Amino acid sequence: MFEILFKIWFTIAILPFLIMIEGYKKLKIFLGKHGYTLDWTHVALAILITLLIVLLLIEYGYS
């Protein structure tokens, strides 16, 4: 039973976080090749703005 709960917890809590970290590293390398710098605050701001727009669209029934 504990193993099933651990797998569910890992899938919900840890795996998306690890995927986000790897994606951030690859994005930083990609943008570095083109001469851009990337800070984690830029990524967080972009995610929050996108989330805000999606939630507003869902709330008002446009989606």
Give dist(CA 39, CA 52) in Å, integer. Answer: 20
Q: In Å, what is the CA distance from 3 to each residue of 14, 16, 26, 29?
A: 15, 19, 32, 36
Q: Domain limits of the chain?
A: 2-59
Query: The pTM is what?
Result: 0.50
Q: What is the largest CA-CA distance in the chain?
A: 50
In a structure prediction context, what are the per-residue pLDDT tens digits for the chain, which is 63 residues long? 888 888 888 888 888 888 888 988 898 898 889 888 777 777 788 888 999 999 888 888 765
- The first and second tokens of residue 22, run together, are 């790897």
> What local confidence, expressed as pLDDT, does residue 36 receive?
81
